[in-house]
Amino acid sequence: MANSKGELIYIEDDTKRKTTCKKRKASLIKKVNELSTLCGIEACAIIFDPNESQPEIWPSHSEVERLIKKFMEMPEMEQRKYMFNQESFLSKNFNKARDQLKRLRDENKRMEMELFMFQCLNIGCIVNTVNMVDTNYLLFVINQTLKDIQWKQSRSQRQHGIVVAAPKEEPLNEEVASVDGPVHGIGQTNMCVMQSQDFSSESTNDRGNMIVPFGDNNNNFSNGFWPSTPSFP
C-alpha cells in the first residue's frame, strides 16, 4: 500500500475505492496471467465489479466455465490415467478439441448476436446481409435481453463479487431500473429488416449513423458477419 498507512480496511470514500478497485483488478489479472504463463498453469479470473456492467473475465468466458467445471470434477480426474498412443490422441484429443471448439462457436455466435443487436439499437434498424443473420436466433437474443431487463427491474439487489472472485449482494442502481430510455423503448422502437446484397461501401442512415458493411471477403477467417475491425459510430 504505497503512500498509505498500509491499513487493510474497507475504503469508505467512493472515488478512492473505485480507483483502487480498478487498478488492483488490472494488477490481479496481470498476476494471474503471469502465474499462468510462468508456471504453466491454466488459470482464470472472474471479477464482478459493481461499477462495471459486466464481469471482467480472463482469459475468456468459455475458459472460465471450463476451468470451474474442471475444478468441480477434480477428485475423479486425479484418479484418471491418460494413456496416449497415436490412435487415442487422434481420436480422444481430437474429439475433446472439437467439443471445445463447439463451445467456442456457441459463445462466439451469442456474442456476435448480442453485439449485432446492440448495434441495431444504435442504428435504429436491423440490417440483414445475404442470409448472414439468423433472424430467429437474433429474436431469441432480443427476447432474452428483454427478460433480463425485466428481471433486473424487479430486483432490489444486484450481485457483485470476484472469483478468484465472487458475487456479492448489493442494492440495485435505481436510476438504471427507472430510466425511461432505450431500455424501455427496445420493444417499441421501430426496427426494420433490410435485405441488402451490397454493403461494399459505407453509408449512413437518416439518423446519421454509419451502417457498417457486414462480411469481409478480405478476411477469410472472419465469421462472415462483421468485419474484423469494424468502425462503429
Partner DNA sequence: TGGGCTATAATTAGTAA
Partner DNA sequence: CTTACTAATTATAGCCC
Residue 19 interacts, among its own copies, DNA, none and using kind-specific CB cut-offs from 5 to 8 Å, with: DNA
| Alpha carbon distances (Å) from 78 to 22, 72, 100, 211 | 37, 12, 21, 52
Q: Which is nearer to its own copies, 38 or 190 (CB)?
A: 38
Q: Residue from 3, 13, 81, 200 that binds its own copies (CB under 8 A)?
A: 81
The reply on whether position 207 binds its own copies by CB under 8 A is: no
Contact footprint for DNA (CB under 7 A): 1-4, 6, 15-16, 18-20, 22-24, 26-28, 30-31, 34, 38, 51, 92
Element holding 75 (H helix, E strand): helix 74-79
Distance in Å, CB of 140 to its own copies, minimum: 12
The reply on whether position 222 binds its own copies by CB under 8 A is: yes
Residue 222 interacts, among its own copies, DNA, none and using kind-specific CB cut-offs from 5 to 8 Å, with: its own copies
CB 91 within 8 A of CB 99: no
Task: Give me the residue label for grid cell 473475465.
Answer: 57
Of residues 53 through 72, those in contact with its own copies by CB under 8 A are 53-55, 57, 59-62, 64, 66-68, 70-72
Distance in Å, CB of 184 to its own copies, minimum: 9
Instruction: For the chain, give the number of residues.
Output: 233
Q: How many CA atoms lie within 13 A of 220 on its CB side?
A: 0
Q: What residues form DSSP beta bridges with 188?
A: none
* Nearest-angstrom CA–CA distance, 211 and 205: 7
The reply on whether position 140 binds its own copies by CB under 8 A is: no
Q: Residue from 154, 165, 206, 211 that binds its own copies (CB under 8 A)?
A: 165
CB 219 within 8 A of CB 228: yes
